A and B are shown apart, each in its own frame.
Chain A
Amino acid sequence: QKEVEQNSGPLSVPEGAIASLNCTYSDRGSQSFFWYRQYSGKSPELIMSIYSNGDKEDGRFTAQLNKASQYVSLLIRDSQPSDSATYLCAVILRMDSSYKLIFGSGTRLLVRP
């Protein structure tokens, strides 16, 4: 079983719709979760972090965490064509004196005008 799993997509939604991106993880001890956005040919950009169960909202983005189900999701409201990118879910694995981010393979989102 992969440590962090995402559906590769593409997830296609019309402009203005809500895009829902999902991620599951295998390590029950994980405490920190991140969503990165990566445009084609560019480096990943951190867009959301979440550490506690429940929802965290930032503008059009909402991250949702359910540690009991080992599930984290990202909702994008009022999707725009500029949101078209690959979204990477990442989970922290703590090492001796540092942290290791375990990444999912990403979900490609396509927002149709």
Chain B
Amino acid sequence: SQTIHQWPATLVQPVGSPLSLECTVEGTSNPNLYWYRQAAGRGLQLLFYSVGIGQISSEVPQNLSASRPQDRQFILSSKKLLLSDSGFYLCAWSKGSGRPRQFFGPGTRLTVL
């Protein structure tokens, strides 16, 4: 069966510091991978998606970037965090073909102070 991991689970960072969040998927190959952010009391916002190694599409211009160095690894980064970057960051995967059901990882709760 497929499993998706995210770490860290929680993170408190000062404004202006860098960020690196990691997501890995097990039990499948060539997945589509997604990064979402959920601000407090808000809906899910798609940040990036990737259909393959090195292939990243950005949905919203912002202070963040994403990379996919390996087939089942997806990284979300920032060089300098802003207060507005606080939120619940979720990684999701779906199969590269067939029914497009997306499954979410446990998430990383980021607080920028």
- Interface status of A105 (Cβ within 8 A of chain B): yes
| B104 A101 Cβ-Cβ under 8 A | no
In the assembled complex, the Cα of A104 lies from the Cα of B94 at a distance in Å of 19
Q: List residues of chain A with CB within 8 A of the CB of B42.
A: 105
Contacting chain A: which of B12-20, B44-52, B61-69? B44-52
- Interface status of A112 (Cβ within 8 A of chain B): no
| Chain B CB within 10 Å, residue with most, of A34, A44, A106 | A44
In the assembled complex, the Cα of A103 lies from the Cα of B92 at a distance in Å of 14
Taking chain B's interface residues, is the majority helix, strand, or loop, or is none over half, making it mixed?
Answer: strand
- Which residue of B is nearest A104, CB measured? B43
Interface residues of A in 31-54 (CB under 8 A from B): 32, 34, 36, 41-46, 49, 51
| A101 B32 Cβ-Cβ under 8 A | no
- Which residue of A is nearest B32, CB measured? A98
In the assembled complex, the Cα of A97 lies from the Cα of B101 at a distance in Å of 15
| B101 A42 Cβ-Cβ under 8 A | no
- Interface status of B106 (Cβ within 8 A of chain A): yes
Which residues of B does A touch, CB under 8 Å?
32, 34, 42-44, 46, 49, 51, 57, 59, 88, 90, 94, 99-107, 109
Closest 6 CB pairs of A and B: A99-B100, A105-B43, A43-B104, A103-B44, A43-B107, A98-B51
Would you give 12 A-B contacts (Cβ < 8 Å), ordered by A?
A34-B101, A41-B109, A43-B105, A43-B107, A46-B104, A49-B101, A51-B99, A88-B43, A90-B102, A98-B32, A100-B49, A101-B102
